[in-house]
């Protein structure tokens, strides 16, 4: 089978690899579609794992099962989460699935951009979802990224706020626009420097969009809100500077979600009294778990999020390097999908 293997952020090769054989409790999926994650576009983050088969947003159809499989069968259309928790440890008991000792080690093999994917028993059992007939494979590719969005919103106490402010309107920012609107945010304001993204955010339901190239972000937000600022801030860029802006954008009593890590070595400088007296909550949100993947599937099934709203480009596996280069440009693209023949 063909796989897309990354050696560096600018060196992605299509290689041949044997098709995995499922053992007891495992299943083999033929990949139909796999998304390009914005996190994989951060060289410092992805290159420390190299060489690796790229991708962790796949959907497809089960073509073979190992012994002992009861809940899935050949022909089932599925989404599989690349990590899955044990569901029995202390962390899982309180919903902190990403801290489960087995979570990171529970990886699909060899990766998401591969013609076939082996689903280990823990992934198959604890975070693989059957797809309703109304959900396409491209829709299913959005389950994992949307689940990450829903987790961050949940950690911040929900979307029932007067004003939500999203810094960064790439695909994850766009998903935040859709999710926040669907979950009841009264006003959603976005900020970015890419004209295509600003326009797209407004098309998806954002009430206002701030061009950070042409305006000073905090002044623009202050003018739009009559000085009230935002009750909920989503900080998307992997930048300590963006995080500082996000914290300063919060209204008294506001909550700031740090959705992405900062660049290695960066320091976040805070005025503790400003945080204290304004009672600003700073909330990191890393990845997601089985509760949110199920919530994401329901939101997609309800029509609040669909592939046609977000997918701008599609490539075959042979053109994965070109797809990643396009995604890194951050120009007139949003969600990019690698498609396979099923």
Q: Is 152 within the bounds of a domain?
A: no
d(CA 251, CA 164): 10
pLDDT at site 39: 87
pLDDT band at 206 (very low <50, low <70, confident <90, very high): very high
**100: CATH:** 3.90.180.10
Domain end residue (candidates: 284, 309, 330): 284
Residue 215 has pLDDT above 90, yes or no: no
Domain end residue (candidates: 284, 308, 331): 284
Q: Is 317 within the bounds of a domain?
A: yes
Percent of the chain with pLDDT over 70: 100
Nearest Cα to 29, choosing from 53, 57, 61?
61
Average pLDDT over residues 128-140: 98
Beta strands in the chain (DSSP E): 2-8, 11-16, 27-35, 52-53, 58-65, 77-80, 116-119, 128-130, 164-167, 188-192, 208-211, 230-235, 250-258, 281-284, 311-316, 335-339
Note whether 270 and 310 are same-domain residues.
no
Q: Is 128 within the bounds of a domain?
A: yes
**Which pTM value belongs to this model?**
0.96
Note whether 6 and 83 are same-domain residues.
yes
Which SS3 state, helix, strand or coil, does residue 320 take? helix
Residue 75 has pLDDT above 90, yes or no: yes
Note whether 120 and 141 are same-domain residues.
yes
Let me know: does 221 contact 227? Beta carbons within 8 Å.
no
Q: DSSP string covering 247-262, please?
A: HHTEEEEEEEEE-SPP
Note whether 140 and 8 are same-domain residues.
yes
Give me 137's structure tokens. 């494979």
Place of tokens 């304001």: 189
Note whether 43 and 100 are same-domain residues.
yes
What's the domain range around 231? Answer: 157-284
Domain end residue (candidates: 268, 284, 300): 284
d(CA 212, CA 201): 14
d(CA 175, CA 162): 19
Note whether 297 and 280 are same-domain residues.
no
Note whether 203 and 314 are same-domain residues.
no
Which helix (DSSP H) or strand (DSSP E) does residue 310 occupy?
A: helix 307-310
Q: Is 227 within the bounds of a domain?
A: yes
Q: Is 9 within the bounds of a domain?
A: yes
pLDDT at site 277: 98
**Phi, psi of 221, deg, nearest 5:** -65, -40
Note whether 20 and 127 are same-domain residues.
yes
42-68, pLDDT tens digit by residue?
Answer: 988 999 999 999 999 999 999 999 999
Q: Is 7 within the bounds of a domain?
A: yes
Q: Is 151 within the bounds of a domain?
A: no
Nearest Cα to 56, choosing from 79, 74, 73?
79
Q: Is 321 within the bounds of a domain?
A: yes
pLDDT at site 341: 81
pLDDT band at 270 (very low <50, low <70, confident <90, very high): very high
What does pLDDT average to over the chain?
96
**188: CATH:** 3.40.50.720
Nearest Cα to 216, choosing from 193, 247, 185, 188?
193
Place of tokens 């320091």: 267
d(CA 85, CA 100): 6
82-119, pLDDT tens digit by residue?
Answer: 999 999 999 999 999 999 999 989 999 999 999 999 99
Note whether 295 and 253 are same-domain residues.
no
Give me 19's structure tokens. 């098709």
**Phi, psi of 8, deg, nearest 5:** -155, 170
Average pLDDT over residues 188-210: 97
Note whether 49 and 103 are same-domain residues.
yes
Percent of the chain with pLDDT over 90: 94
pLDDT band at 330 (very low <50, low <70, confident <90, very high): confident
Residue 213 has pLDDT above 90, yes or no: no
Q: How many domains does the chain have?
A: 2
Let me know: does 288 contact 151? Beta carbons within 8 Å.
yes
Residue 342 has pLDDT above 90, yes or no: no
Give me 20's structure tokens. 């995995």
pLDDT at site 136: 98
Beta strands in 23-160 (DSSP E): 27-35, 52-53, 58-65, 77-80, 116-119, 128-130
Note whether 260 and 335 are same-domain residues.
no
Note whether 117 and 10 are same-domain residues.
yes
Place of tokens 């954008």: 249
């Amino acid at each position: 089978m063909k796989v897309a293997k990354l050696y560096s952020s600018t060196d992605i090769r299509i290689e041949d690899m044997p098709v995995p054989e499922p053992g007891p409790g495992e299943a083999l999926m033929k990949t139909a579609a796999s998304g390009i994650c914005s996190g994989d576009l951060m060289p410092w983050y992805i290159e420390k794992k190299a060489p690796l088969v790229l991708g962790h947003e796949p959907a497809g159809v089960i073509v073979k099962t190992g012994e002992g499989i009861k809940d899935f069968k050949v022909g089932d259309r599925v989404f599989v989460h690349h990590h899955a928790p044990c569901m029995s440890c202390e962390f899982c008991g309180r919903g902190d699935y990403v801290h489960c000792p087995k979570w990171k080690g529970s990886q699909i093999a060899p990766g998401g951009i591969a013609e076939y994917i082996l689903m280990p028993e823990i992934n198959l059992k604890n975070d693989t979802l059957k797809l309703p007939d109304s959900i396409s494979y491209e829709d299913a590719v959005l389950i994992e990224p949307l689940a990450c969005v829903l987790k961050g919103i949940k950690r911040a106490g929900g979307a029932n706020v007067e004003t939500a402010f999203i810094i960064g309107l790439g695909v994850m920012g766009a998903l935040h626009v859709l999710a926040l609107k669907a979950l009841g945010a009264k006003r959603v304001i976005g900020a970015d420097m890419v004209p295509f993204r600003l326009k797209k955010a407004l098309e998806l339901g954002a009430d206002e969009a701030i061009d950070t190239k042409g305006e000073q972000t905090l002044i623009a937000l202050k003018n739009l809100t009559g000085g009230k600022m935002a009750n909920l801030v989503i900080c998307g860029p992997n930048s300590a500077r963006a995080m500082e802006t996000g914290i300063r954008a919060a209204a008294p009593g506001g909550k700031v979600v740090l959705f992405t890590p900062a660049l290695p070595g960066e320091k976040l400088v805070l005025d503790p009294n400003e945080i204290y007296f304004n009672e600003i909550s700073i909330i990191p949100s890393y990845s997601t778990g089985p509760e949110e993947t199920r919530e994401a599937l329901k939101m997609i099934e309800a029509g609040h999020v669909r592939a046609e709203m977000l997918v701008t480009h599609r490539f075959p596996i042979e053109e994965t390097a070109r797809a990643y280069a396009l995604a890194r440009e951050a120009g007139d693209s949003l969600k990019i999908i690698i498609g396979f023949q099923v």
